[in-house]
Amino acid sequence: MVSYRPKNKMKKMIIFSLLSLFALRAGIAQDLEMYERKLYVSKADSLPYRILYPENFNPAQKYPLVIILHGAGERGNNNESQLVYGAKLFLEPENRQQYPAIVVFPQCPQDSYWSNVNIVRDETGKRTFNYLQAVGEPTKAMHALLGLLKELEKSGAIDKKHLYIGGLSMGGMGTFELLRRQPKKFAAAFPICGGGHPDGVKKYAKRVPLWVFHGEEDGVVPVEKSKIMVEAIQKAGGKVKSTIYPSVNHNSWDYAFKEPELLPWLFSNKK
């Protein structure tokens, strides 16, 4: 039997660091498995999703519902990728104790999009986002999401006065669109580095408080997309907070999900 013995402290430290990293990743993956795997199916609609129930979940009790919409890079059908950003926030013990809620991360199919937006790329790769007017049929993913939302409400465990929606990038756009399609449904919303058609805000501006996040140097979805929506909501008489992170690119979700006041603000709102 051959044994390996590091020759110096540096090698021992490297091995220890690698083992610690593997253990950390394994621990995170194990924690994420607390989100149960589910599949919504209704006629032609299907949508994978992960759901986290509160500690000591009581089916006879009603809980707030939080829906988080992921970005374009997490689309697919593995029912895993959508947990990459934001899922750990709701697993933190203090958050689970202080804010018992049902948290849902649906996964958009690879060939669809949460919102009705036409994305055009020029020869340099720069994207132009053309949001459709506040009319039209929902996308395949949005149609399934609307069905899932209705099914969750019918479960009997949802407190309809405490429904919340948030999302990042493509999911931020989906957040704005879902508010337009369900203006009376949600108690609060937080779109991150998203955008939408400003004409649609009139339906929900006075009904739903929003906290909008974006990176000032976003090279994927220009910060102006959020600024346009914030201005439109303000003009329509709505309540909106806006946080623009200086020198931050598209990954503004890394900062938004670390905002210490995000969850206190979110759960303080009710219909």
147-193: per-residue pLDDT in tens?
999 999 999 999 999 999 999 999 999 999 999 999 999 999 999 99
| Mean pLDDT comparison of 14-28, 69-83, 114-128, highest-scoring range | 69-83
More confidently predicted of 119 and 181: 181
Answer whether residue 23 shows pLDDT above 50: no
- Quote the pLDDT of residue 119: 78
- Quote the pLDDT of residue 24: 39
Answer whether residue 143 shows pLDDT above 50: yes
- Quote the pLDDT of residue 20: 44
Work out whether the CA dihedral 147, 210, 226, 75 comes out positive or negative: negative
What topology does CATH give the domain 36-268? Rossmann fold (3.40.50)
Distances (CA, A) of 189 to 56, 128, 150, 251: 26, 25, 18, 19
Distance separating alpha carbons of residues 242 and 227, to the nearest angstrom = 8
Please state the pTM of the whole predicted model. Answer: 0.88
| Lowest-pLDDT range of 12-21, 191-200, 202-211 | 12-21
Distance separating alpha carbons of residues 164 and 270, to the nearest angstrom = 9
- Quote the pLDDT of residue 118: 80
Task: Grade residue 27 by pLDDT with cuts at 50, 70 and 90.
Answer: very low
Query: Average pLDDT for residues 23-34, to the nearest whole number?
Result: 63
Answer whether residue 131 shows pLDDT above 60: yes
Contact present, 49 and 39 (Cβ < 8 Å): yes
Contact present, 191 and 176 (Cβ < 8 Å): yes
Contact present, 37 and 50 (Cβ < 8 Å): yes
Distance separating alpha carbons of residues 253 and 271, to the nearest angstrom = 26
Answer whether residue 10 shows pLDDT above 60: no
Domain layout of the chain by residue ranges: 36-268
Answer whether residue 108 shows pLDDT above 60: yes
